[in-house]
Structure 1
Amino acid sequence: MISPFSLEGKTVLVTGSSSGIGRGIAVECSKMGARIILNGRSMQRLEETMTLLSGSGHSIIEADLSNQSEIEKLVQSIPQIDGCVFCAGIPQVCPVKHIKRGELEDIFSVNTLAPIMMTSALAKRKKITKGASLVFIESISGVYVGTRGDVSYNASKAALNGFVKGAALEFASQGIRVNAVNPGLVPTNILHLTNSMFSEEHHADIMLNSYPLKRLGKPEDIAYGVIYLLSDASGWVTGTNLVIDGGYVLN
């Protein structure tokens, strides 16, 4: 009997799979039998991810999803997909009084507009199979909690969450499910951008005082939740948020 959590025979596109959570998702999905289409902006790092994948039939498409023409080229070049995980994202540490329009547009371009426009392009070109699953990596920030100095990031994820709810309703008649995963703090390369403000000691303090399970997240923690939402095991789940945060939002 095939496990309902198996991804055998499914083709899954993972954006932002050159490192961090996206890489972890790609690796774990391949272990469950999926054929993975890797996407990111660095061919070198995507090739590194490729070496970690299990199975065969995987491919790489280098593309910057903040560029609409590159979104169109990516969508044209792929076969029909059974799943898509929108993981590409950037942080931005900036207090309210220092927000600049250009920087705000930059973070919304990657975190919000790119996955929305890509979903639209996939739908227009009929690249999403009936019964497919779309999974958006959001955050607890902006959806469940707010964080000081992180307001632009919070807003970009909150806006994406609104899109997920509406898209779930629109795609339901086609049997296409749309859900979000909301991680807590997962130390990855992306956090190096904020290390000038937050030291390892700061992260350790957060871990002990803010996370009931007394540890920060790992990419595979998020990947396992994504596998559930991509698989047939979640066949009656759409428009929901799966919080994976070690209990942070309980505090």
Structure 2
Amino acid sequence: MYNPYSLKDKTILVTGASSGIGRATAIECSKLGATLVLTGRNEIALQETKELLSNSSTQDHSILAADLRIEEACENLVGQLPMLDGFVCNAGIGKMLPLQFYSLDVLNEVFQMNCFVPMLLLRLLVKKRKLRNPSSVVFTASISGYNNVAPANGVYGTSKSALSTYMKYAALELAGKGIRCNAVHPGRIKTPLISNHLLTEEDVAKDVEQYPMKRYGEPSEVAHAIIYLLSDASAWVTGSNLVIDGGRSLK
């Protein structure tokens, strides 16, 4: 059956695959025939993700646990990878903090995981020639780094804005190698990342009202957009930002 979104015979690396959007992306990719390489810090959680993947006799999903904040761990990870058709750069951290409480440690922590690690990991994948021609890289950014500015979200939003900008440079430089680079910009998605102690239930209820569709998104809804960018259906799409926010950016 014809399916331009099929991922059959494609091998895809997903970072941050232990939960949330990363886990949902891995699950949905496996349903469309992909072989997954899952990475993250929590090997037990990665194993739980692996057990949720669809399998066939030709697939051999794998787990490579790694702390991507450590450069040597990134190098070891890349050294163990098979040739890739897709790379979903999803690992990231959230941080809500009013600007008067910023510190260099906080800035380093958030920018390292949300921006610097993706930049360095892609460098290694290209340098070690682990990405096929053609292949697709998808970065998980955020509407916080696009046009949805909110109090106490400056560090996170700015780090995601930097990631989105980097994506464009990567798309330009790697196009000649057949490597497409794009980013998805989710609104609030029902994942552990959005849990924090600064928002009360009343705050959350008010925030939900800012979404024309009157709800937060599901991880699978972002995963389906990522699949589009991984698949041959988007073969002529690179350097693009895909907003998935239930209409939040309309307000």
Alignment TM-score, normalising by the size of structure 2: 0.97
CA-to-aligned-CA distance 1:53-101 (integer Å, 9 cap, x gap): 0013100000011111000000000011000001101011111111000
Unmatched 5+ stretches in structure 1: none
- Give 1:114-129 correspondences, 5 Å limit: 114-129=117-132
1:143 to 135, 146, 164: 146
> Which deviations, in whole Å up to 9, do the C-alpha atoms of 1:111-151 show, x marking residues without a partner?
00111100000000000000100000000002222121011
CA distance in 2, matches of 1:112, 1:15: 13
**What's the C-alpha RMSD, in Å, of the aligned pairs?**
0.9
Report how many aligned residue pairs link the two structures. Answer: 248
Per the alignment, residue 53 of structure 1 pairs with 53
User: What is the one-letter code of the residue matched to 1:166?
Assistant: Y
2:185–2:241 Cα contact (<8 Å) kept? yes
For 1:104, what is the secondary structure of its paired residue? Answer: helix
How far apart are residue 202 of structure 1 and its match?
Answer: 2.5
In the alignment, what sits opposite 1:72?
75
Q: Say whether 1:20 aligns with 2:20.
A: yes
CA contact (8 A) 2:142 2:160 kept: yes
1:1-251 matches, within 5 Å, as 1-55=1-55, 56-192=59-195, 194=196, 196-207=197-208, 209-251=209-251
Q: What one-letter code is carried by the residue in structure 2 that aligns with 1:109?
A: Q
**2:188–2:194 Cα contact (<8 Å) kept:** no
**Letter of the aligned partner of 1:241 in structure 2?**
N
Does the residue aligned with 1:136 lie in a helix, a strand or coil?
A: strand
AA partner of residue 115 (structure 1): P
What is the alpha-carbon distance in structure 2 between the residues aligned to residue 210 and residue 11 of structure 1? Answer: 38
For 1:200 and 1:9, locate their aligned partners in 2 and report how far apart those are by CA, in whole Å. 45
1:203 aligned partner, one-letter code: V
Paired-residue identity, %: 46
CA shift digits 1:171-205 (9 cap, x unpaired):
1112211000000000211223x1x2113343233
Q: Any idea what SS the aligned residue of 2:204 has?
A: helix
Moved over 6 A (4+): none
Aligned-residue offset at 1:240: 0.2
- Give the counterpart letter for 1:38 in structure 2: L
